[in-house]
Amino acid sequence: MFHKLLLNFSWWVNRKDNDGRNIFQCGFLGLDNVGIFDRSAPLPTGGRIDQSDGTAWMAAYALDLMRIALELAVANHVFVDIGVKFFEHFLYIAEAVGCTDTCDTGLWDERDEFFYDVLQLPDGTACQCTSAPSSA
């Protein structure tokens, strides 16, 4: 089962991280998929949505796979390196969303102290998808 999870994780990393920034887009279905956009379908305007919850899910997935690998390493030390690799994936994702002024992800809103999705438009502009308009 662990090998199938490795394949699944690799698929998400290689298919849903469009820019290689450890910020993940589209395809995270569930109750969170209720919203203005169907996040599993192409946007009518083009572009994509950088998902804060999908990115957090990938961080949790990396830690879960690390825990499994370290448990397997009790019987077979080969899994230690795999566990370390998943911890590295977690750190890459944490760095991508946890930065402040030096960060270009736009997921973190300093005023609200909350992570929001970011709409990346085809022309290169980005718009943070907050639940309410900012007041000046």
Chain segment 49-66, per-residue pLDDT in tens: 888 888 888 999 999 999
If you average pLDDT over residues 105-126, what whole number do you get?
Answer: 80
Confidence at 134, pLDDT banded by 50, 70, 90: very low
Higher-scoring residue by pLDDT: 99, 74: 74
Measured over all CA atoms, what is the biggest interatomic distance in the chain, rounded to whole angstroms? 59
- What are the distances in angstroms from CA 62 to CA 36, 84, 121, 128? 29, 10, 28, 26
**Hey, where are the domains in the chain?**
51-100+113-130
If you average pLDDT over residues 71-96, what whole number do you get?
Answer: 95
Confidence at 36, pLDDT banded by 50, 70, 90: low
Residue 88 has pLDDT above 80, yes or no: yes
Helix, strand, coil percentages for the chain (3-state, nearest 5): 45, 15, 45
Gap between the Cα atoms of 36 and 74, Å rounded: 47
Q: pTM for this one?
A: 0.80
